[in-house]
Amino acid sequence: MKSFRRELWFQTPGRRAFINITPEVEQALLESGVQEGLALVNAMHITASVFINDDEPGLHQDYEKWLETLAPHEPVSAYRHNLSGEDNGDAHLKRQVMGREVVMAITRGKLDLGPWEQVFYGEFDGRRKKRVLVKIIGE
């Protein structure tokens, strides 16, 4: 069995962003040489997410509005976590809702994604370097 590991690094200029990382994951798969197996993609930071959905701007705007309704950034005093001097209590909750990772099947050297599915990095407390792990195993 083959095993391949790659780290993707991101630094967004704003607090929140949704970045389509499908091309980077597909490139890692190509370099791995795996034809049949699994790909794990996970955010290695507690205020970021990896998820699969449609790459449609309206949907991303809906995410922004929905997540801000569920866990508004302000007032920062609303979060006990922020008593530690941080201002990202909301980002931890947003990450919990959006998820830490995705696992995809690999068939004939391709990611087994549905017709509109894409892999995204979700950033909820940006402006600093963060990484995503791509781990591919198989034959």
CATH top-level class of 2-138: mainly beta
pLDDT value of residue 116? 97
Residue ranges per domain, the chain? 2-138
Q: Would you state the pLDDT for residue 77?
A: 96
Residues 75-120: pLDDT tens digits?
A: 999 999 999 999 999 999 999 999 999 999 999 999 999 999 999 9
User: What pLDDT is stored for residue 113 in this prediction?
Assistant: 98
Q: How confident is the model at residue 45 (pLDDT cuts 50, 70, 90)?
A: very high
Report pLDDT digits (tens) over 51-69.
999 999 999 999 999 999 9
Question: Can you give the pLDDT at residue 121?
Answer: 98
The total of other beta-carbon atoms located within 10 Å of residue 68's CB is 14
Answer for the pair 89, 76: CB distance below 8 angstroms, yes or no: yes
Please give the structure tokens belonging to residue 104.
């995809």
pLDDT of residue 61: 97
Inter-CA distances, 42 with 59, 83, 84, 87, 124, Å: 21, 28, 26, 23, 15
